[in-house]
A and B are shown apart, each in its own frame.
Chain A
Amino acid sequence: MFKQHASAVYASRDFIFANIRREFELKYRNSLLGALWTVLNPLAMIVIYTLIFSKIMQARLPGLEGAYAYSIYLCAGILFWGVFSEIVLRAQGVFLEQAHLLKKINFPRLCLPAIVVGSGLVNFSIISALFLAVLVLVGALPGIEILALIPVLAITVWFAIALGVVLGILNVFFRDVGHFFGVVLQFWFWLTPIVYPASILPERAQALLVFNPLAHCVQAAQAVIVQHAWPSWSGLLGVALASVFLSLLAVRLYLRHGADMQDEL
Chain B
Amino acid sequence: MTVVALERIGKAFRRYSSRWARLREWIDPRALDCHDKTWVLRDVSFSLEAGEAVGLVGMNGAGKSTLLKIITGITQPSEGSVQLAGRLAALLELGMGFHPDFTGRQNAFNAGQLIGIPLARLEALMPEIERFAEIGDYFDRPVRVYSSGMQMRLAFSVATAERPDVLVVDEALSVGDAYFQHKSFERIRQFKAAGTALILVSHDRFAIQSICDRAILLSDGTVARDGDPESVLDYYNATLSGVDKIEQQTDGERIRTTSGDGGARVIGVQISTGKGDDVDTIETGTSVVLALKVLVERDLDELVCGYAIRNRLGQDMYGVNTFLTGQPTGPVAKGAELLFEFSFAMNLGEGDYSVATAVARGKTHLEGNYEWRDLAKVFSVVNTRHHVFSGCVWMEPTVSIRRLP
Contacts and interface: CB of A to CB of B under 8 A. Distances in A.
Interface of A: 12, 14-15, 18-19, 22, 26, 29-30, 100-107, 173-174, 259-260, 262-263
Nearest to B102: A22
A204 B189 CA distance: 76
A18 B114 contact: no
A101 B14 CA distance: 22
25 contacts: A15-B110, A15-B113, A15-B114, A18-B109, A18-B119, A19-B110, A22-B102, A26-B101, A26-B102, A30-B101, A100-B97, A102-B74, A103-B69, A104-B74, A104-B92, A105-B96, A106-B74, A107-B114, A107-B115, A174-B23, A260-B14, A262-B69, A262-B74, A262-B75, A263-B13
A106 B97 contact: no
Interface in B114-129: 114-116, 118-119
B227 interface: no
Given A101-B114, A104-B97, A105-B97, A22 B22 contact: no
Interface of B: 13-14, 22-23, 26, 69, 72-76, 90, 92-93, 95-97, 99, 101-102, 106, 109-111, 113-116, 118-119
Nearest to A100: B97
Given A15-B114, A104-B95, 8 more contacts: A18-B110, A26-B101, A104-B93, A105-B97, A105-B115, A107-B115, A173-B26, A260-B14
A263 B113 contact: no
Given A100-B97, A103-B74, A22 B110 contact: yes
B72 A106 contact: yes
A208 B96 CA distance: 50
A107 B90 CA distance: 12
B110 A105 contact: no
Consensus secondary structure, chain A interface: helix
Interface pairs A-B: 10 shortest CB-CB: A259-B76, A106-B73, A15-B113, A101-B97, A14-B119, A104-B97, A107-B114, A106-B74, A262-B75, A105-B114
A22 B106 contact: yes
B101 to A, nearest CB: 6
B118 A14 contact: yes
Nearest to B22: A173
Contacts of A107: 114-116
A107 to B, nearest CB: 5
A73 to B, nearest CB: 39
A30 B110 CA distance: 20
Contacts, number: 61
Contact of A12 (B73, B96, B109, B113): B113
A263 B72 CA distance: 15
Contacts of A173: 22, 26
B244 to A, nearest CB: 33
Contacts of B102: 22, 26
Contacts of A259: 76
Contacts of B119: 14, 18
Contacts of B93: 104
Nearest to A258: B76
Contacts of B76: 259-260, 262
B96 A174 contact: no
Contacts of B75: 262-263
Nearest to B92: A104
A14 B22 CA distance: 38
A259 B116 CA distance: 20
Nearest to A259: B76
A112 to B, nearest CB: 12
Contacts of A30: 101
Contacts of B73: 106
Contacts of A29: 101
A141 B26 CA distance: 50
B102 to A, nearest CB: 7
Contacts of B106: 22
Contacts of A104: 74, 92-93, 95-97
Contacts of B111: 105
Contacts of A262: 69, 74-76
Contacts of B109: 18
B74 A14 contact: no
A22 B114 CA distance: 14
Residue of A12, A101, A259 with most partner-chain B CB within 10 A: A101
A174 B23 CA distance: 8
Residue of B14, B22, B75 with most partner-chain A CB within 10 A: B75
A259 B73 CA distance: 10
B374 to A, nearest CB: 37
A101 B102 CA distance: 15
Contacts of B69: 103, 262
Nearest to B122: A14
Contact of A105 (B74, B99, B101): B74
Nearest to A263: B13
Contacts of B96: 104-105
Contacts of B110: 15, 18-19, 22
Contacts of B74: 102-106, 262
A12 B92 CA distance: 21
A105 B114 CA distance: 7
A157 to B, nearest CB: 24
A102 B76 CA distance: 12
A229 to B, nearest CB: 44
Nearest to A104: B97
